[in-house]
Structure 1
């Protein structure tokens, strides 16, 4: 048997007898994701406004608002944050490809021409050597044998990192979709509250006219007119605030769409009422939530990458074996290509940096990183459940508050109408009518604010549910 065959057999036997060092990744049994309570139905989902149906991919389409659908699609295509996330993903995939390439052979070609003079004494000669034209041409090929799994673990870490970046890109899409809907809803809420304030101002202006006519007819008092005008001024003072909120929503929406404020016309948020759902809001359960949320997937993949890096650090404690081959020509330039200048070599190269305290410390540091990533993963899981339960609870309680405010508004509207008719007929003092109008104005404003809060609650709940990245 030749020496070359013996070397190959020795290396093959060593390769068969070794495995990747470091822990194989599996989600620890004590992870928060594995708790039965994490997969249970939501505690706060017991009301008619939500259902246990799974959340659809494009949840904003549940509003059945074509303009909103178009805005979300534009944002997902042009948002700057999504572009950053996409670039980070491309970088991570390129890194993964580069790490994968380390497992293959590597080749190098060299060529050199120089006019030089060698030292005679270097060859134990006393005479001076002549100046010559020398040439060197060579080809070398090397292949690292992954005896202890360093390259395998590095590949696992790079793949998990790329998957984490893919989840981060999904999270960016979730956030942009929700914030686009939020900006649109804010603009609609401002339009709704502006319409309510204008309607109340219009009613109050009618009261001013009534007070003015009664005063001109000798049946009223100057103080009644002054009070009516003061109430009208107070209602008018609310209008600029809602106009400013409309502008702010439009400017925010423009940024989400990748546009300058001047590029988005006011008509983009010119709506007089918040979009509402035509069906109960689908929320699913905890198990579906944790599978869907991109931040949970991202944290889990970062834990996998950290676990693989333990193997990379551990493999540094062991020898590295590279099988290499080289061939070429070295000699006088005119002899390059001739047998006399030919050289070649074949064989393994074993290198080993004897482990010291620093190498072992790097292994401990990698294990600590994995422990930190597990703790972070548990925190992300628990936070996802907390956010969803909180959003569900707020939504349920704000729904009840909205129903109570609507009932109060209806009663205030009836009382205000009765008092206006009694005052116009001279059968009740103006203060009674004024107080009733104030109560109605406050009830209308409170109900409009509650409608706006409900609309935001829905967006918050959709955001907590983590949908919108599936495209």
Structure 2
């Protein structure tokens, strides 16, 4: 008895440390972070996180779409449900460290041969009602590490929800800009088609007078019919983007047609775009925070696996009433109490426990590599978006200048046509060239806004100020 008590005390004394490594952040997994972004010349001032980035586009319709999407998108509901699952798992892990109490009622009948006075069999009845309780001591911190991992899992799911918000806000803005782009293309295309119709009519008159060959007329008609055919896919794309936006806001296709039917110019980003610095980016991007929390969870699970290699001590207690007759269940003199400590240790498992620790360490190393990859990918996203924004802005400047020149040339052609020095067909051709310059400028405007949207997504913006539980829904 004394020897058993001494062994138990020895185990309790050696249980002062928690198994597995303590997590101190991803220092060894984090690559070197540059002090500033190297691409583009966007302003690198501090970012105003309290203001949603899309409000700087100054488009009330886009603001309304964002509010609807962030309140009703099913992807947000799914991500919020995963948070609730992780929180339930944490409550389970915490409950694992508490005593377990079970109620029970037993009626057992036994036939024992050779127990009667005459050597025959004896039949015994046993009645018992009560409860039993069990509790396992967390000697080496396995339960503590499991709770630690569960907490990190919750933070991972919360970061995943924020990442969905970042992607959703960028996708809504991108689809909205694409819709406005196609609407402008359709308007300009119809205007150009009207000019081509007039050119064909004038060319036909010249052909009927015999001043030009039939081939010239056919070429004009070919160009006009091709331009008309190119408008049909644009109309289909307009419908497709309206349906996509409706679905992103959690509604059926066609629901938002009344809001989106009226054409509008694509919104333009502000003149100055604050991007902060790479260190702030890494702290802010939800996918990086999710990767870091996964690393923390896998580090904690090493301790869970390591603690399983050591002895386990549990206590079992029994309390009940009973005897050989049903009336004994009501007799307080038949009260029974039993307590039994239990020690178990798989000291000879042929390396199974050690293998589980090795596997947990390998999973930790994989999480560290994934974290490093997430950091590098985020830096690449940001640098690429800044570079595209800068070059797109330069391209837009050139195309605005080209549009001005084309419009001036068209105005001069109009004056010469009215003076009779050139034909009206030449004037109409100059006007179509000016429309093509306008179309190129609109495409550059859309490209600039798309680059701005990509910057906001790369910087991890769009989730700040939202509730951690995600959109509120009524079921």
Change (3 A) 1:242 1:447: same
* 1:373 equivalent in structure 2: 367
Relative distance call for 1:15 and 1:82 in structure 2 (3 A) is farther
Aligned to 1:252: 244
Are positions 1:444 and 2:442 aligned together?
A: no
Q: How does 1:133-282 map to 2 (within 5 A)?
A: 134-207=126-199, 221=212, 230-268=222-260, 270-282=262-274
User: Does 2:401 align with 1:403?
Assistant: no
Q: Is the contact made by 1:157 and 1:309 (CA closer than 8 Å) also made in structure 2?
A: yes
Partner of 1:361: 355
Counterpart residue number, 1:43: 38
Say if 1:222 and 1:444 are closer, same or farther in 2 by CA, change over 3 A: farther
Shift of 1:248: 1.3
CA RMSD of aligned residues (A): 3.0
CA contact (8 A) 1:249 1:269 kept: no
TM-score (norm 2): 0.87
Matched, 1:87 2:85: no
CA distance in 2: counterparts of 1:279 and 1:15, whole angstroms: 67
Which residue in 2 is equivalent to 1:27? Answer: 25
Matches within 5 A, 1:74-153: 74-114=68-108, 116-121=109-114, 126-130=119-123, 132=125, 134-153=126-145
In structure 2, the CA distance between the partners of 1:352 and 1:269, relative to structure 1 (3 Å rule), is farther
Unpaired runs of 5+ residues, structure 1, are none
**Structure 2 residue 459 is matched with structure 1 residue 465:** yes
- Between the aligned partners of 1:192 and 1:301, the Cα distance in structure 2 is 45
Deviation string 1:307-356 (CA, Å, 9 cap, x unpaired) is 01100111110011113322213422222343664322224211111243
Listed as ranges, the matches of 1:345-360 within 5 Å are 345-354=338-347, 355-360=349-354
CA–CA distance in 1 between the matches of 2:15 and 2:93? 24
How many residue pairs match? The answer is: 460
Instruction: Quote the Cα distance in structure 1 between the aligned partners of 2:5 and 2:372.
Output: 49
- TM (norm. structure 1) is 0.88
Q: How does 1:424-443 map to 2 (within 5 A)?
A: 424-428=418-422, 433=427, 436-437=430-431, 439-443=433-437
CA contact (8 A) 2:195 2:432 kept: no
1:258 aligned counterpart, secondary structure? coil
Q: Tell me, in whole angstroms, the C-alpha distance in 2 between the residues paired with 1:413 and 1:183.
A: 30
> Secondary structure of 1:456's match?
helix
8 Å contact from structure 2 (residues 160, 290) kept in 1: yes
